[in-house]
Amino acid sequence: MSEKVIPMLPCHTIQPVLDFYTALGFEVAFVQKSPNPYAAVTRGDIELHFFGMRGYEPAASYSTCYVLTDDVDSLHTAFRTALKTAYGKIPTRGLPRLGPLKDMSYGTRQFLMSDPGGNCIRIGQQISEDQHHRPAPKETFARALHLASLFADSKEDLAGAAKILDRALGLDDERPTPVELLRLLVLRADVAGRLDDQETAASSLAEAGAAEARLTAEERRSARDDLERLAELRG
């Protein structure tokens, strides 16, 4: 006995969605224009179906699905390369967009990708046998990073993430470590860009650049994912 689950995701228009996924290396397995717009794409064992929906607003979409892989780093790298080729840069805000690759607090390494239809494709790899949420750290800046990361890249509550980060970055009586400061600023720039707050995004990127310049070689290794995201946000 064998089963397979295939997500069926909405979109306003089929063709832009197909163009996006073919740019990522997917193959179009099926297209139907009438009586109801419908299409399917495949890439290895990943299979996604889409249906056209009148009056559908991609920017207001809540549709999502989760793709499990055994090599999330390679998939993220492949998608980054493909999108840079297709768009001239890696889109980090608006639709479509590609999110950062990061280790989450529930034993998964993942990234989020939103297509032109507004569908959020969550792609992850299990990196721990314990899939429960880790308790939030007690230390001020580690706790802020933990919670803001969950808000931004799991719950997708960008306004909530911004409040957490602004509170931590505005403290006068405590100072983060150099790596914590870099991570806070990169995430703040990322969140601001996705909220279309270009002034905050620009100032956070400038501060992150200054923080990057002060890192030691060992600190740079520990902040590899964040430095990669910083390069993407700079375009």
> pLDDT tens, 145-182?
999 999 998 888 999 999 999 999 999 999 999 999 99
Token digits for 137? 């750290």
The DSSP output letter for 128 is -
Q: Which residue from 130, 132, 126, 148 is spatially nearest to 192, judged by alpha carbons?
A: 148
CA distances from 25 to 46, 89, 159, 194 (A): 11, 17, 33, 25
Flag whether pLDDT at 28 surpasses 90.
Answer: yes
Helix, strand, or coil here: 104? coil
Q: Binning pLDDT at 50, 70 and 90, where does residue 82 land?
A: very high
Mind listing the pLDDT tens digit for each residue in 51-61? 999 999 999 99
pLDDT-derived band at 33 (thresholds 50, 70, 90) equals: very high
pTM (predicted TM-score): 0.84
Q: Tell me how far apart the alpha carbons of residues 214 and 218 are, in angstroms, rounded to a whole number.
A: 12
